Structure formats: structure tokens, C-alpha cells
Structure 1
Amino acid sequence: MNRQELSTLAHRRHPISAPVDEAAADELLRAALPEGEGRALDLGCGSAAWLLRALAVHPGLRATGVDLSESALRTARAEAERLGLGDRLALHRQDAAEFRSARPYDLVLTVGASHAHGGLLPALEAARAHLAPGGAVLLGEGYWERTPSPAAVELLGELRDLADTVAAVGAAGWTPVHGHTSTRRERDAYEWSWTGSLAAWALDHPEHPDSGQAREAAELHREEWLRTYRDCFGFVCLVLRRTG
């Protein structure tokens, strides 16, 4: 079982691939979505949970999702059909950094996916390339809530603190018009769901050849979370517009 399939299983009970609860996700989308008809693009959509929520509340919206995980896209297609939204959602199995479109988008989402572009600022540049004039970007990014240990930096990479994250976004030519800082409760709920969903699948499928791998992945992730980054990692979502 590859990493993408493991991630799809881990997000079964928390399809939003970020430590953000449903109420916060809806509030962010209300702040980011265009009025009237529009187009939305998610660069690293996973199972397209953000796009499906947006389509459900915005009948004039059409959406495109890009992701490398075939299992996540398969889940997205099935859910879109179940909700009657399949005719307004296009999905592409492709590297988000390589995706091109002939028409710009009114909303571009890159939530927890900056690694696919090489970091925060490259992710914003990738989003800008797809953005229509006056459009918005919904960015989700990790940050250090407290000074991290060397082990946390080795595991999660070189992140900024929250103030420096917002300052870097502003220096790159973006203005936050809305935001949400994930609470400890949201972050814990996400991690318990991630590890618990994967562990439960392994217990429910003991004869599956990947059961042991899934259980070990859940145990490793839980150990890293509890011992290495639970007390120092934060997550922020920002609705951004071009400053000039």
C-alpha cells in the first residue's frame, strides 16, 4: 500500500485533509467564494472535500480538483455522484505543479499542500498563475506555535511562526481578508481521526496483506504526533487577495 492509499484510508472519517472543523471550513468558503457564477480550483484536492462543500452551497460554481492520488480521486468521484454534483466537478490525476488551464479561476485552494510546490511562497506563486483578477486564494499552512525541537523540525521541515507566516504572505503581495487559526481541539480531533481511522481499518481487515503496514503507519504517526509536534505545531487558513 502506497502513501497515497494510506492517506485516503486515514481521512475516511475526516475528509477535510487539514485540522479544520466543518463550521470553520464553511466560514472560510463563504469568505472566499465569488458572487454569482464562478470557477474554483483545488491544487492538491485529495478527496475534494473542500470543493464538494463549495459546490453544495454555491449552485453557480464549477470546480476542478488536481491530485496525484488515484484512490482519493476515486473517492471524490463517488461522493460527487452521490451528492448529485458530478456534472460540476472535473478531476485530474496530475502533479499540481504541472497543471495548466486555458481559463483562470475565481478561487484557488491550496490547503496543506504547499510541499507539492516546494514551500509556502512557491505555492502562492502557483496559485497566482491560475487566479482571475479580483479572485481569492484559500491557503492552509502549518506554522510553529511554540519553539520546535530539532526532531520536530526534522519531521515537519522549516516552518515559520504565525506572525512571520502572515508577514511573508504580505511581503509576497497578498492581503489576508479572512482567516482561521485551528484550535487545539481541531488539531487533536484531526490527529485522533487520522490515526484512528487507519488503525480501525487494519483491525477490521486482519487478513488483508496491507493490514500490518496500515497498523504500523497509524502507530508511528500517533507516536510522532504525541511525542514530537503536538505541543508546537499550529495550522492557519487564510483567504488572500492580491494587494495591488
Structure 2
Amino acid sequence: MDRARLSAIAHRWHPVAAPVSGEGLHRLLDRLDPPPQGRVLDLGCGSGAWLVPLVAAHPGLTGVGVDTSGPALDAARDRAAMAGVLGRVEFVAADAATWRAGRFDAVVCVGATHVFGGPAGTLAALRGHLRPGGRVLFGDGFWEAGPSPAALAGLGAGPGELPDLPGLLAELGRAGLEPGYGHLSTRAEWDEYEWCWTGALTEWALTEAPDADREAALEAARAHRRQWLEGYRGELGFLTVVLHDRDG
């Protein structure tokens, strides 16, 4: 199966492509607090789960979301239309690592550091899009415990690929960004996210998938479930944090 299509199906039940609840998402967006007439950018926007409610909550705000996934961008445009903000938000099919369009008052990047080669590259890129004094909403994984060999195998990661939480916070500081309000995903949020990911894909495979895709989708759900339950569950953490431009 096409990877982008598989991911879009797997996120049907949990459109936020991170272990963050709806309540946590809205609290973080409130703390981001962009200017009333500002511009906001979401790099790796997926289906618009962060950008659309942010724009909807601020009538003068405009936004741009950038992603390479056609199915996710289609879902984002549908979400924007349902929220009545399609005229104030644009979704662009492009590589977030190379796309440029001026400076923004706020930049969102949650769960997409792989696009930029890790946290350091991501933070440098975000600063490049941010106007002086702007704010960033950033989310990434870290090792909460371990990592054990099983966790590394489940995530497909090397021993030094992810930091621990103090290491991640230090990386933020080196980028000239000051952590403000943050959210550490709970075990319940992780479990809800993973069960939704595997469950949505399984249900699609058994009720909607063409015969040619059915077994591939089921195997993708089984593999993901094994990687989570036998691998990184309880060891992989996730931080989502509002960052202030310290030098602005």
C-alpha cells in the first residue's frame, strides 16, 4: 500500500498525528496565542488537526499548512471547509524542508522532525520561518526510560537518535528558544493514539479495503501493534511545548 494513504487511513480515528488528546491540543493552542491579525505556518501539517482549530479560534488569523501527503491534504481541506475557514487557510503540497514563503508570527511543527533530520535541524528551520519575537509550537519524542533493545527495535531507532527529556530541552535552548507552556503525553494518551492507529487501519482492512490491499493493511496494523506493545510502550515519551523567541 502507498504509505501516505495508509497513514491517512490509520489516523481516521485520531486525526492528531501525535499522542495528544483533544483537550491537550486546545490547551496548547490557547497558550500559543498568536496575534489577532497574524500569520501561522504548520510544517508537516497532516490533516490540519492543529492548524484548522487554531485559525478557527482567531477570526483575523490566516494560515498555511505544508505537507507531502496528498490524502492528508485532502482531509485538511475538508476539515477547513467544515470549520468555515477555507478562505483563511491554504494547504500546500511541498517538502517542508525546502518550502519558503516569508516570515510568520507563529510556526507549528508537531511530530515531523524526521523531515529535517532531527530536532536540531527542525528548530533551525523553524527559526528561519519565524518573525522576531514570534512563537513556535513544537512536538517531538524523547526517551522517558531506557531505551531497551526492544524499544529501539520497535521504533527502528539507533541508541543516540533520540534524547532524554533534559537533552531535548537543552536542544531547544541552543536554538535560541525558551520553553513556555508544555505538555507531556500520558500513558493513557499514548495508548489511545496507538489503539486508534491500529484499530482504524484494521477496521478499514476488514470492511472497506479492496481485496488487493486487505492483507497488506492488516499486516501493517499487526506490525505496528507489535512494535508498540513489545517495544517502546512505557519508554517513549512525547513533549509538545510552546517556545518563545528569546532573541526577538
TM-score tier, shorter chain, comes to over 0.9
- Unaligned ranges ≥5, structure 1: none
Measure, in 2, the Cα distance between the counterparts of 1:81 and 1:151: 43
Query: Is 2:113 aligned against 1:114?
Result: yes
Tell me which residue corresponds to 2:164.
161
CA deviations 1:146-174 (Å, max 9, x no partner) are: 01123423414411111111112112211
1:141 counterpart residue number: 140
Name the CA distance, whole Å, in 2 between partners of 1:24 and 1:38.
23
Post-superposition CA distance 1:172-193 (Å, at most 9, x none): 2110011000011001100000
> Over the residues paired in the alignment, what is the CA RMSD in angstroms?
1.2
**Code of the aligned partner of 2:235:** C
User: How does the TM-score come out when normalised to structure 1?
Assistant: 0.96
Contact 2:152 2:231 in 1 (8 A): no
> For 1:156 and 1:3, how far apart are their aligned partners in 2?
19
Contact 2:151 2:233 in 1 (8 A): no
Q: How many residues align?
A: 243
Partners of 1:236 and 1:120 lie apart in 2 by 12
Contact 2:142 2:165 in 1 (8 A): yes
8 Å Cα contact 2:187/2:234 also seen in 1: no
The 2-side partners of 1:156 and 1:136 are apart by: 30
Q: Distance in 1 between matches of 2:12 and 2:194?
A: 12
What is the distance in 2 between the residues matched to 1:207 and 1:181? 39
Deviations 1:95-116 (A, max 9, x none): 1001110x31111011000000
Letter in 2 for 1:231: G
What amino acid sits opposite 2:116 in the alignment? Answer: H
Query: What amino acid is the match of 2:95?
Result: D
Ranges in structure 2 where 5+ consecutive residues have no aligned partner: none
Superposed structure 1 runs of 4+ greater than 6 Å apart: none
Identity, in percent, stands at 48
With normalisation by structure 2, the TM-score equals 0.95
What is the Cα deviation at residue 208 of structure 1?
3.7
Label 1:48 to 1:206 Cα distance change in 2 as closer, same or farther (>3 A). closer
- SS at structure 2 position matched to 1:178: strand
**Deviation of 1:33 (Å):** 2.6
